[in-house]
């Protein structure tokens, strides 16, 4: 993953400017971790849609990495700070 994108994404997840939501990218002012990336980098899909490989080509993330982030956000309900730690540790860039 591009190191500047990764750094900005991790910072945004930690700053608390985005309210966390679960089960959608962005809805009613709430975001999942991947939705925060989309908000930062203007990857436009319909609000509330699922992440597609096509929309995340810009990120350099693998499908497996996207699945892991979605699992941590939507199933485990980990806070953004924990997801940011995981991204920092496990995603090269």
For the entire predicted model, the pTM comes to: 0.86
End-to-end CA distance of the chain: 5
- Per residue in 12-64, pLDDT tens? 999 999 999 999 988 999 999 999 998 888 765 544 444 555 556 777 888 89
Q: What is the pLDDT of residue 63?
A: 86
Q: What is the pLDDT of residue 48?
A: 46
Q: What is the pLDDT of residue 59?
A: 78
- List the Cα angle 82/23/85 in 5-degree steps: 10
Q: What is the pLDDT of residue 47?
A: 47
């Amino acid at each position: 993953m591009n190191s500047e994108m990764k750094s900005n994404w991790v910072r945004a997840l930690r700053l608390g400017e985005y309210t966390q939501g679960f089960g959608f990218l962005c809805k009613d002012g709430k975001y999942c971790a991947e939705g925060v990336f989309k908000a930062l980098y203007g990857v436009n899909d319909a609000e509330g849609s699922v992440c597609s490989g096509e929309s995340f080509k810009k990120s350099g993330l693998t499908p497996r990495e996207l699945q892991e982030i979605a699992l941590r956000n939507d199933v485990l309900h980990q806070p953004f700070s924990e997801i940011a730690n995981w991204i920092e540790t496990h995603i090269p860039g």
